[in-house]
A and B are shown apart, each in its own frame.
Chain A
Amino acid sequence: MDAQTLIARRIARELRDGMLVNLGIGIPTLVANFVPEGIHVFFQSENGLIGTGPVPEPGMALAWLTDAGGKPVTALPGACAFDSAISFGLIRGGHLDLTVLGGLQVDQNGRLANWMIPGKMVPGMGGAMDLVTGARRVIVAMQHAAKGRSKIVRECSLPLTSDRPVDLVVTELAVIGFPEGRATLLETADGVTVDQVIAATEAELVIPSNVKEGGGASTSYESA
């Protein structure tokens, strides 16, 4: 299984029946492919839709039914559409149960940087700052390192997305939470040891005695 699929599958285990969820672009989008059987999740697209469905069949796209990247999607039965103020009211107002976003860096206190690289990439923050500030739960989906450098760092060198810490970081190596504001190793992936995670991580990690080594955990960290 490739790293992206591994990450998306692990995050999907955090989904619960009836949740309103917003998925960012990239790895987060893949989470929708692994919704556990028997539960219904409402997916929000911040351009104004709840009930976003899969990509349409060839020839069935509608120009006015798109995801936040402008790509055609479908709408599931029970879907609803609304304007951008309501969309962000849902996000900031405590109505969004979970957002899953990509990340460039997360610091050891859980603060995320994911919207710009000064001098290189200035795309604008779009909805990311509102999502991280306002969602009830924030999960970052990202690879553990980029170009050999840990993305879980002591201090973000890139501009922060929000001063609100995220709840969980899921990489292909580990699941990291931030109880008491400190990066804490909760779980390692299948075949990955605690020492390997420590070696691959720049941030100082708290290692609890009950860390789940080698994956296989069926629990989630909803209340962590």
Chain B
Amino acid sequence: MKTISLTNAVAMIPAGSSLMIGGFMGVGTPEPLIDELVRQQKSDLTVIANDTASPGIGIGKLISARLVRHLIVSHIGLNPETQQQMIAGELKVDLVPQGTLTERIRAGGSGLGGILTPTGVGTVVEEGKRRIEVDGRDYLLETALRADFALVHAFIADYLGNLSYVLTARNFNPLMAMAAETVLVQTENIVPVGLIAPDHVVTPAPLVDYLVTKG
């Protein structure tokens, strides 16, 4: 397991990168990594996430700092700044049904080209997509998503990089840990190997590229 300081972790992210960022309304978002992205002014980012939280929280900080060029998310309703930047044409926003977003990321991390979902059939979500009938039911072909970096929040990481999560802070994190070229993990606790029982490991260590050290 490679450990890395917060400063160096963010320094290796070039401007213009695509980032998957865990979290649901900021819960389970690796907040120190977000703060450091703002401090180092990493701009022109593509962000794939569930939402943009609200101003001052999680991904909301990247929006306020105007570091994001393209968003792929399911919900922006609790962040008026995201909506303002979108309406002003300063920010490209792709709105994706949440269950479609989860599966597109899972597909990206699992070697699949995409998935077929009934969600969105007959709605504006269908525009520009292929409709495919399987056994008499209509589905949309939704393509896989991958990113240059995944910014993952875990509750516990062991020295090898095995991860476990806590309650509703898990959300998109384990899916994103499989779908990016480089996986950076910020964790609440770093513990000796063995403290996470094998059956309780959610993200296996080989998926983790860097564990961000504390302090």
Q: Is the CB of A126 within 8 A of B74?
A: yes
* CA–CA, A108 and B147, complex, Å: 43
Measured between alpha carbons, how far is A64 from B58 in the docked complex, in Å? 13
| Alpha-carbon distance A121/B123, docked complex (angstroms) | 17
- Say yes or no: B78 contacts A84, CB within 8 Å: no
Q: Which residues of A contact B122 (CB under 8 A)?
A: 160, 162-163
Q: Which of A29-37, A75-83, A183-191 forms part of the interface with chain B? A: A75-83
User: In the bound complex, do residue B168 and residue A65 qualify as a contact, i.e. CB atoms below 8 Å apart?
Assistant: yes
CB distance from B59 to the nearest CB of A (A): 12
Q: Is A134 on the interface with B (CB-CB < 8 A)? A: yes
Give the number of chain A interface residues (Cβ < 8 Å): 41
Q: How far is the CA of A127 from the CA of B96 in the complex (A)?
A: 9
**Residue in contact with B98 in the complex, picked from A65, A82, A126, CB distance below 8 Å:** A126
Contact B106 A125 (CB under 8 A): no
CB-CB under 8 A for A130 and B99, given A68-B24, A160-B123, A162-B119:
yes
A90 to chain B, nearest CB (A): 10
Q: CA separation between A128 and B74, bound complex, in Å?
A: 10
Are B27 and A84 in contact (CB-based, < 8 A)?
Answer: no
30 cross-chain CB contacts under 8 A: A45-B168, A46-B98, A47-B27, A47-B168, A62-B167, A64-B168, A64-B169, A70-B26, A70-B54, A81-B168, A82-B170, A83-B165, A83-B170, A83-B171, A83-B173, A84-B98, A84-B175, A85-B103, A85-B175, A88-B103, A92-B99, A92-B118, A122-B86, A124-B75, A126-B98, A127-B99, A133-B119, A134-B119, A162-B119, A163-B122
Give 10 closest A-B pairs by Cβ, nearest first.
A123-B77, A70-B25, A163-B122, A88-B99, A130-B99, A64-B169, A126-B75, A124-B75, A129-B97, A47-B24
